[in-house]
Structure 1
Amino acid sequence: MVRPDKDVLVLGAGIIGVCVALHLQRRGKSVLLVDRRAPGEETSYGNAGLIERASVIPYGFPRHIPTLLKYATNRSADVRFRWTYLPKLLPWIARFFIESSSRRLRRAAMDMLPLIERSVTEHTDLMAEAGILDRARRTGWIEAYRTAKAFAAARTAANALDEFGVRYDFLGPQELQAREPHLAGGFAGAVHWLDPATVADPGGLVKDYASLFLRKGGEIVKADASTLAAGEGGWSIRTQGGEVCAREAVVALGPWSDAVYRRLGYRIPLAVKRGYHVHIEPAGDAVLNHPVVDVERGYLLAPMTKGIRLTTGIEFAGRDETPTPVQVDQTEPHARRIFPLGRRVEPTPWMGARPCLPDMRPIIGPAPRHKGLWFAFGHNHHGLTLGPATGRLLAEMMTGEQPFTDPAPYAMSRFG
């Protein structure tokens, strides 16, 4: 039998993989973290920086006919798709539609609630250990509405979340202006979600967590995760320094997880939703105090280390297809009308891909046909939010501890 070099190989150094590695390390496991790039430089880099305690209802398939027509004709910055990609996506969309019925969507919300509820707490725990508690801003984020009708609907939707213990304020135009003095008028009202935390550099946060992992004796290597192979002693992977073996392996590769699970014979309905962002300098002395969503125009402005980050809605397209940042160009003129913005910091918008499963739950748990192989991917829009909670849950399962919540809703077996 080959003597393992490590207890666990964790494939993927995004927020999910780094948090899995940290929680396994806490429980006495020797861990090798593997990625083709440095930590936090793929999907985890490009998001709104929200640790989203308030997002207790998953993003389901819309049922409003005018909205569907707008999406179907690519007339919205919220959602865009490539016609050439649509045939491949149709089976996924069909299941997503079924899973978005009111009954199933509520079931998904209840299944995800234990993870969502712990999102800020688990991040705070890791930040305290890493010595970076000051990186978390506990100011929440704001959804702004241009019409009284849209604002009234948002108030109704927010009130429906009272059973989940979510806190929020309703803001009229003057109250919104008081919280965001440099935001232009014209909004009928806003919902200020109070429970979420935000960070000004999501990719930097992942790097900080990875630095903690290294300080505690962990190792990070660059390698091609697709070289993972089962062997007599467990699992091995080829690195530049040679083959490395471990008793167990975790696939936490986000939208690239199929590079491993497909070769091993698993059929998982994983799709990607692409998204774009660009950093823009604030003009003059303008300050944005919170992330702000312009709901009807389909974009978000977030104060980041590099400037104001304009993030777009989703694009359904092949993961590796050429970027088409049309949504950035659509929304930037609207953003400039509501907030003083200067020049773009980057000449080209960044593009990333979110790993999405049609039932709006991630896969967290063992691979049913391979001993010592574990999965942690498919977090949809909530990778940053759920990284530490996922890491804790999977580490508890792998080490035989009592999990803090029932992991059954996240089992791979639900896909056959």
Structure 2
Amino acid sequence: MSGTVLVLGAGVVGVSVALHLRRRGFDVLLVDRRPPGEGASFGNGGLIQREAVAPHPFPRALSELRRIAGNRQVDVAYHPLALPGYAAPLLRYWWHSAPERYRRTVVAYERLIATCLDEHRALAEAAGAMPLLRPVGWMRLYRRPEALEAAVAEAEALHRAYGVNYAALDTRGLATAEPHLLAERAGALHWTDPVSVSDPHALTLAYAGLFTAAGGRFVPGEATSLRRQGAGWQVATAEGPAEAAQVVVALGAAALEVTRPLGYAPPLFGKRGYHRHFALQGNAVLHRPVMDVESRFLLAPMRAGIRLTTGAEFARPDAPPTPVQLARAEPVARSLLPLAAPVEATPWIGVRPCMPDMLPVIGPMPGQPGAWCAFGHGHQGLTLGPTTGRLLAEMMAGEPAFVEPAPYGPERFARRRALAS
């Protein structure tokens, strides 16, 4: 069994890990309750965000905290009764967002983000999925000239430091680029490097197809049944117990359900998100994703229609869906773009796996030989799936890692607990 691996979780991260392991000769079984790509990988803005070198820190301005506390926003909403359960991870998030700590986070985060386009293209070309990748970037729309000017200054700083590219558009330039916008804006910041994915689910399925074509296997199964079996691991599947020498936990926000019984419980927390697709009226088109900065929602052209996405909702895991953010965003979105009827009867809901230090967890699980972690990517699971897959596979195969893995190591949380005790 020395070359056998169970990969638990068939989102874009798990599929990418499984594919890269199979390419290195491992006998890989991919296990999930649902078919590939039907979890959080199904619903997102569909962006491979090369510009996202600086993760969003915890807000520290009192005006921003007051805005969020009002609980009437599109980008952030919360269930009051759920907040006690988020107190510890959010306090850690605030701590890690202090300027000096945040600067160190950006350095580590940028090293992953810098690889995202090359790693996706390598897989998409092999999978025949390049038509799903549209190199059109995305835009942030501004109503006030002074806000646009500040955004351009920040973009220029990121360009100088990290090589991300952008273009600044005035009112006329924006109208030329997106002629079917209904509302006038002062202009836009166009991030030109990112790739827009027309169907994120289809992209994950294409990578999964590449994995199975290479001899890998997917089987439905219950990840929470994972247990030690001799020197290896066993999990219950639809085909009966499956065993392997090694296991990778790539379960996104559900990862703690498997790692906690094994003695590893990093401060992972989930943020719920929603989306809904809309048809467009007449011959209207949207050429690239656009974010209305003041209203804080994203409109992205997809195969299924125009996807309206919102930010984060903090709720108990078992709470029923409450898509109030979509309800708040839709009237403003209709004033910006000629949306027709919604495509789905009900909105999609998913959960983003977030870490308070804003870095994913990639590497060997502390105290559990043969167990590995690949989760905690926040809003960038799609962006960083292939990068994570390659990095972890190189570590497991004993190859030189193409990105220094130390900043993302799972032991960073185990070490802090040991120091605290």
Question: The TM-score by the shorter chain falls in which range?
Answer: over 0.9
The whole-number CA distance in structure 2 between the counterparts of 1:221 and 1:272 is 26
Please report how far the alpha carbon of residue 184 of structure 1 lies from its aligned counterpart in structure 2 after TM superposition.
2.0
SS in structure 1 of the partner of residue 388 of structure 2:
helix
1:11-410 map, 5 Å? 11-162=8-159, 163-410=161-408
Name the TM-score, length of structure 2 as normaliser: 0.96
- The question of whether the paired residues in 1 share the 8 Å contact of 2:128 and 2:206 is answered with no
The whole-number CA distance in structure 1 between the counterparts of 2:318 and 2:30 is 24
SS in structure 1 of the partner of residue 224 of structure 2:
helix
The whole-number CA distance in structure 1 between the counterparts of 2:276 and 2:2 is 42
The whole-number CA distance in structure 2 between the counterparts of 1:354 and 1:285 is 34
**CA spacing shift, 1:6–1:401, aligned 2, 3 Å:** closer
The whole-number CA distance in structure 1 between the counterparts of 2:146 and 2:320 is 38
Computed over aligned residues only, the root mean square deviation of the Cα atoms, in angstroms, reads 1.1
- The question of whether the paired residues in 2 share the 8 Å contact of 1:366 and 1:375 is answered with yes
Please report how far the alpha carbon of residue 249 of structure 1 lies from its aligned counterpart in structure 2 after TM superposition.
0.3
- The question of whether the paired residues in 2 share the 8 Å contact of 1:20 and 1:390 is answered with yes
Q: Structure 2: which amino acid aligns with 1:107?
A: R
Please report how far the alpha carbon of residue 347 of structure 1 lies from its aligned counterpart in structure 2 after TM superposition.
1.4
Please report how far the alpha carbon of residue 233 of structure 1 lies from its aligned counterpart in structure 2 after TM superposition.
3.8
- The question of whether the paired residues in 2 share the 8 Å contact of 1:233 and 1:245 is answered with no
- Larger displacement relative to structure 2 (156-165 or 188-197): 156-165
Structure 1, residues 245-301: CA drift from partner, whole Å, max 9, x if none? 101000000011011001111121011111100000011111000000001101000
- The question of whether the paired residues in 1 share the 8 Å contact of 2:127 and 2:207 is answered with yes
Q: Structure 2: which amino acid aligns with 1:84?
A: L
Tell me the residue number matched to 2:419: none
The whole-number CA distance in structure 2 between the counterparts of 1:267 and 1:346 is 37
The whole-number CA distance in structure 1 between the counterparts of 2:2 and 2:209 is 21
The whole-number CA distance in structure 2 between the counterparts of 1:235 and 1:71 is 44
What is the number of residues matched between the two proteins?
Answer: 413
Q: Structure 2: which amino acid aligns with 1:305?
A: R
- Larger displacement relative to structure 2 (140-149 or 329-338): 140-149
The whole-number CA distance in structure 1 between the counterparts of 2:204 and 2:316 is 26
The whole-number CA distance in structure 1 between the counterparts of 2:338 and 2:21 is 45
The whole-number CA distance in structure 1 between the counterparts of 2:326 and 2:183 is 22
Please report how far the alpha carbon of residue 172 of structure 1 lies from its aligned counterpart in structure 2 after TM superposition.
0.4
- The question of whether the paired residues in 2 share the 8 Å contact of 1:236 and 1:246 is answered with yes
Q: Structure 2: which amino acid aligns with 1:218?
A: G
- The question of whether the paired residues in 2 share the 8 Å contact of 1:95 and 1:359 is answered with yes
Please report how far the alpha carbon of residue 313 of structure 1 lies from its aligned counterpart in structure 2 after TM superposition.
1.1
Name the TM-score, length of structure 1 as normaliser: 0.98
Q: Structure 2: which amino acid aligns with 1:273?
A: K
Unaligned stretches of 5+ residues in structure 1:
none
- The question of whether the paired residues in 1 share the 8 Å contact of 2:13 and 2:381 is answered with yes
Structure 1, residues 287-346: CA drift from partner, whole Å, max 9, x if none? 000000001101000000110000001111123311100000000000000101100001
Please report how far the alpha carbon of residue 105 of structure 1 lies from its aligned counterpart in structure 2 after TM superposition.
1.4
Unaligned stretches of 5+ residues in structure 2:
415-421
The whole-number CA distance in structure 1 between the counterparts of 2:42 and 2:50 is 20
Please report how far the alpha carbon of residue 5 of structure 1 lies from its aligned counterpart in structure 2 after TM superposition.
9.6
The whole-number CA distance in structure 2 between the counterparts of 1:85 and 1:52 is 30
SS in structure 2 of the partner of residue 84 of structure 1:
helix
- Larger displacement relative to structure 2 (151-160 or 323-332): 151-160
The whole-number CA distance in structure 1 between the counterparts of 2:198 and 2:164 is 23
SS in structure 2 of the partner of residue 297 of structure 1:
coil
SS in structure 1 of the partner of residue 308 of structure 2:
strand
SS in structure 2 of the partner of residue 320 of structure 1:
coil
Tell me the residue number matched to 2:417: none
The whole-number CA distance in structure 2 between the counterparts of 1:194 and 1:320 is 39
The whole-number CA distance in structure 1 between the counterparts of 2:259 and 2:80 is 27
SS in structure 1 of the partner of residue 205 of structure 2:
helix
The whole-number CA distance in structure 1 between the counterparts of 2:121 and 2:361 is 24
